[in-house]
Amino acid sequence: MTTEATAAQGFTLARNAPLRHRNTLRVDAHAAWLADINDAAALPTVLEHPALRDHRALLLGEGSNVLFTRDFDGAIITLKTRGVEVSDDDPAAVRLRVEAGEHWDDLVRWSLAQGYAGLENLIMIPGSVGAAPMQNIGAYGVEAGEFIETVDAFDLHERRFASFTHGACEFAYRDSVFKRHPDRWLITAVTLRLPRAWQPRIEYAGLRDELRRMGCEHAAPFHIADAVVNLRTRKLPDPDVIGNAGSFFKNPLVAAAQAGALRAQHPQLPCWPAAHGLTKLSAAWLIEAAGCKGTRDGDAGISNRHALVLVNHGTATGAQLWAFAQHVRAGVQARFGVLLEPEPRIVGAPAAAPPP
């Protein structure tokens, strides 16, 4: 790897950069160029650098929601900007302006320590703040988009800075305008609005039971955070111990009639009403019922702790992990007629392609 030190200009460039420690699946891929940005104002300069001008760009946070199926022959851009500012604090809500390079879990823990409630269900989600709007991250019945008021971004096509209101972000289940145009918008900062009128969100399966096990009858935000930490620690493998990107498959949305037919055959199948008259099915249940939980092929496999988690047991390549994910999708589709979609971005292969 060759590095060009340009810190005085707010960024550094590396050539033929290894990515193994830039993605939580621990795939041993390389990028032709890697740009780390320490100052968002440097973006126009970075993109006009001769090394990057003629290369396609890929935006990467902490690599917790990406699978590299091969080396990337373009330029990877990562924002390393840090900072949290209380931009407004009144009796109705507190607003936090957070730089994209901040670690999401650090932000959640900091906000709780300051007495700001709302993000407690989203504790322990890996990744950067800048990646949160892209995926509209969510857990235990709460989505980040509920609290995002504005998003600041850089338009890679028109080479200009822009700001998005909440409505312009077009948030949906694990989706946003940024995810639908992943190579256009580089998120530089996020403004969150955390209402003072707080209500606990403990409807999600298992969360209320965990609070009961903790002996907590009247849950405060920090109680809910502790309960979520307990649940995630028990259920999800630690990416520092075994390579994984968290939930690899989305819970599928199907027509109500299809969900009813499946429930008639499989009464244990968990499902929930969703928008537009659709029904959300449990992908974890489908994968386990298809016999895929805990299985593996070489170093690529599905966790024996949680059926949604694709894991790298050691030195699996990105292509091997994607092939195994396709095997899982094919098994679920053959058994239930439901095609699972991957949650992470698949680099180097069509993510939505049906399994062979």
Strands annotated E in 275-340:
278-281, 296-297, 300-302, 309-312
Catalytic residue flag (residue 303): no
Catalytic residue check, 263 = no
Phi, psi of 175 (to 5 degrees): -155, 160
Active-site residue, from 247, 282, 303, 345: 247
Bridge partner list, 12: 36
Give the active site residue among 22, 174, 329, 345: 174
Q: Which residue has the tokens 């373009």?
A: 74
Are 309 and 247 in contact by the 8 Å Cβ rule? The answer is yes
Residue 234 makes CB contacts below 8 A (sequence gap 6+) with: 305
**Residue 56 φ/ψ, nearest 5 degrees:** -70, 145
Rounded Cα distance between 327 and 356, Å, is 8
Residues contacting 353, CB < 8 A, separation 6+ = none
Residue 87 annotated in active site: no
Residue 232: count of CB within 10 angstroms of its CB: 17
Q: Which one of the listed residues 102, 149, 210, 343 is annotated catalytic?
A: 343
SS3 label, residue 210: helix
Angle formed at CA 148 by CA 142 and CA 151, multiple of 5 degrees: 140
Question: What are the residues whose beta carbons fall under 8 Å from the beta carbon of 316, sequence distance 6 or more?
Answer: 27, 243, 298, 299, 300, 324
Active site residues: 174, 247, 343
